[in-house]
Amino acid sequence: MILALLSTSDKPFARFLDALSTLGASEPVIAISRTPLAERDYPHLRLEPESALATHVQEARVVVADGGEMARFALRSHRPVILVPRRKPLGESPDTREEELAKAAEKHGWANAIIDTELLADACNNPPTPSADYTDSTHRLRAAVQDALERIAARQ
């Protein structure tokens, strides 16, 4: 089973959804999206609520995500990860952050980055080795902010 994760965005990402729907004709694809998908019909995607994420990630043969906040969840899953970033030149993103994140994840060996969705089927058929060394640094940022707040509070 392929697990597809889409982050919150007000920009359409039809090329990604079309590619996933095509894959779904031959293998189950479960899509969990923070972006409403009501604009188009994707008959080969099984849409699930975000609450089902923890269950499906353990069953997934490969996790495919865009380059937004769901990419970090995909990387933490320690499953084979393919990132398909939204692209600014195509009007899918207001900036290049998703592309930069996907390229950085690939550079570190944590995921494969796919820019051209026509390559997605081949990437899913030949997924990368799951990364065992990815760690999310969000906890360090939260700890630093908490420390700063405590120092500020102590001065008052």
What's the DSSP call for residue 8?
-
Structure confidence by residue, pLDDT tens digits, 87-117: 999 988 888 999 999 999 999 899 999 999 9
Cα distances (Å, whole numbers) of residue 67 to 81, 83, 100: 11, 6, 8
Q: In angstroms, rounded to a whole number, what is the distance separating the alpha carbons of residues 52 and 85?
A: 23
* From 37-41, 74-78, 146-150, the region with the lowest mean pLDDT: 37-41
User: What's the pLDDT score for residue 39?
Assistant: 45
pTM assigned to the model:
0.80
Question: Domains along the chain?
Answer: 2-155 (3.40.50.2000)
Q: Is the pLDDT of residue 14 over 90?
A: no
Burial class (CB in 10 A: 0-12, 13-18, 19+), 104: middle
17-51 tens-digit pLDDT: 888 888 877 888 888 776 666 545 777 788 887 78
Q: Please determine, for residue 141, whether its predicted confidence score (pLDDT) is greater than 60.
A: yes
Which of the 8 DSSP states describes residue 99? H
Q: Position of tokens 């865009």?
A: 66
Average pLDDT along the chain: 83
Does residue 129 register a pLDDT over 80?
yes
